[in-house]
């Protein structure tokens, strides 16, 4: 399958999924959305996604807005980090995520980063909190 400039990386034995975009045309957006939909369908209550858009200058086009609403992944819980480069356009993406995307998934915590390593560290911290909060069943 042609990845259209979108790549999927698995970190920490598959606990974290990183979607890395090196293109932002409609074909790349479609591929990105297809990857998200397929992976989220396999793990609906286990969302730990990092969207790395740091190598492109992302924009919030009407097509992207529509696609984000279409791929509204039904999830009861999870975490999403978005990695952007520092730019004026990134501020528009930040506004979009903070004011529109969070309402599509109210139980999924979203956070914007300008450094990929910080996003990975935050995600690992969040997943570590989940492990610590999960009660261990008593052995009978």
Is the CATH number 3.40.50.1400 carried by domain 6-133? no
Which tens digit of pLDDT belongs to each residue from 30-85? Answer: 999 999 888 888 876 778 999 998 888 767 678 877 887 777 666 557 898 989 88
Contacts of 78 (CB under 8 A, 6+ apart): 45, 46, 47, 48, 49, 105, 107, 108, 109
| pLDDT score for 27 | 93
* Residues 9 and 20 sit within 8 Å (Cβ to Cβ): yes
Residue 28 has pLDDT above 80, yes or no: yes
Residue 8 has pLDDT above 70, yes or no: yes
pLDDT band with cut points at 50, 70 and 90 for residue 132: very low
Q: What is the mean pLDDT of the chain?
A: 79
- pTM of the entire predicted model: 0.79
d(CA 101, CA 105): 7
pLDDT band with cut points at 50, 70 and 90 for residue 94: low
Please state the domain extents for the chain: 6-133
Q: Which three-class secondary structure state does DSSP give residue 52?
A: strand
């Amino acid at each position: 399958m042609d990845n259209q400039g979108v790549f999927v990386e698995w970190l920490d034995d598959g606990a974290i999924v990183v979607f890395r975009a090196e293109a932002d045309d409609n074909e790349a957006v479609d591929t990105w959305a297809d990857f998200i939909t397929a992976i989220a369908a396999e793990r609906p209550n286990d969302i730990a996604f990092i969207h790395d858009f740091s190598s492109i200058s992302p924009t919030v086009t009407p097509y992207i807005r529509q696609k984000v609403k279409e791929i509204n992944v039904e999830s009861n819980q999870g975490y999403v980090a978005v990695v952007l480069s520092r730019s004026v356009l990134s501020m528009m993406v930040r506004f979009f995520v903070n004011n529109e995307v969070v309402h599509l998934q109210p139980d999924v915590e979203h956070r914007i980063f300008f450094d990929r390593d910080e996003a990975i560290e935050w995600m690992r911290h969040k997943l570590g909190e989940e492990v610590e909060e999960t009660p261990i069943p008593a052995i009978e």
